[in-house]
Amino acid sequence: MLKRVYAVFIARNREFVRDRGTLAWNILMPVILVFGLAFVFGGEGRNQYTVGVLQSSAEIDTREHPFLESRFIEFVPVTDQADGFRKVERHRLDLLVRLGNDRRYWVNPESPKGYFAERLLLQSDAAVGGTVRKAQISGDPVRYVDWVLPGILGMNMMFSCLFGVGYVVVRYRKNGFLKRLRATPLRPHEFILAQVASRLMLVLIVTAFVYLATHLILDTRMDGSYLALLLVAVVGCIAMVSLGLLIAARVTSEELAGGLLNMISWPMMILSGVWFSLEGAGPAVQGLAKVFPLTHILESARAVMLDGATLLDIAPSMIMLTLLSLAFLGLGAYYFRWGPD
């Protein structure tokens, strides 16, 4: 069995590596994105800020301050000050304000959106006396590039796994290559295993290269262990490849496969926190995001890189990703068809 898996694994690797255009795009695209965001900060994905309001109640009274009536700002009640600080540090809140008698606000100096939210607050506050005071965050604010790097690496991994496996399997099915393999002793699970192994290895190499390049040049933050980060990458990649295989299990049209893969990948890209935090989004949206493997990959990668999380800390996300992988692989193997029949 291993001999057959190895043969298909090697052949797929060669096919990928020799397709220079695809390989170059896989490496260059995330690098360009990271550098672009790091130097220009022009990649803000939405025109809405998220501001935490430090207060004891869970309801925000917009009459309390004119700032709370600002449009295009999502106001989120924050009852725990330490939690609020942490969210500001990690770009999950653009600004944290405490209104009432002793008005204060906290902003991450590395956050471009925080800067604009601060301007809006000061402008609104001037209308009612201008008494709000800026306070220092006691923690260690992270730069936006540090926060967004795991998102871009995860997004690249997602596209590479979903399209690199899902789309390719559908192409193999459509051009008859799968039919040719079916006429050999190769079994479906051996073929699937070879695809997972091949993509896993290639994605890990590409991701490591991109990470290393950005880390060396931009001195990105890494508070945790590389072993934990590697585990996140491996488990996350397996989950993504498995999802790609499930989508491609019996689709015979490349157009349909492309549509399905886009239908899966775009919501993941938007809702899993690649570009911005979902803090302030409704519970339904946050619940939906928990179903996506990318959410767990990014949460655990950020926890390791920005907070120094240990293997134990990220265990829940790893378990969730493993369960998702098993479900995707099981369903994918069950529905898998070599040909259109």
Binding site for another protein (CB under 8 A): 3-4, 6-8, 10-12, 14-15, 18-19, 172, 175-177, 179-186, 338-339, 341
Q: How far is the CB of 164 from another protein (least distance, A)?
A: 14
Report the distance separating Cα 143 and Cα 35, nearest Å: 13
Least distance between another protein and beta carbon 2 (Å): 10
Residue of 231, 194, 164 whose CA lies nearest to 29: 164
Q: Which residues contact residue 101 at a Cβ distance below 8 angstroms, ignoring those fewer than 6 apart?
A: none
Mark out the alpha helices in 41-183 (DSSP H runs).
Answer: 81-89, 112-126, 144-161, 168-175, 177-182
* Minimum CB–partner distance for residue 335 and another protein (Å): 15
Tokens describing residue 340: 């259109």
Report the distance separating Cα 319 and Cα 105, nearest Å. Answer: 38
d(CA 19, CA 204): 18
Q: For residues 186 and 271, which CB has a smaller minimum distance to another protein in the complex?
A: 186
Nearest to 297 by CA among 274, 331, 266: 274
Q: Which is nearer to another protein, 157 or 181 (CB)?
A: 181
Nearest CB to another protein, comparing residues 11 and 285: 11
Consecutive H or E run containing 208: helix 188-218
- We find the least distance from the C-beta atom of residue 84 to another protein, in angstroms, to be 53
Q: Which is nearer to another protein, 11 or 256 (CB)?
A: 11
| CA atoms of 63 and 60, how far apart (whole Å) | 9
Closer of 276 and 338 to another protein (Cβ)? 338
The least distance separating another protein from the CB of residue 19, rounded to whole angstroms, comes to 6
Give 337: exposed, middle or buried? Use CB within 10 Å, 0-12, 13-18, 19+: middle
Tell the smallest beta-carbon distance from residue 242 to another protein (Å).
Answer: 22
Nearer to another protein, 182 or 250 (CB): 182
Are 274 and 154 a contacting pair, CB within 8 Å?
Answer: yes
Q: Of the two residues 18 and 71, which places its CB atom closer to another protein in the complex?
A: 18
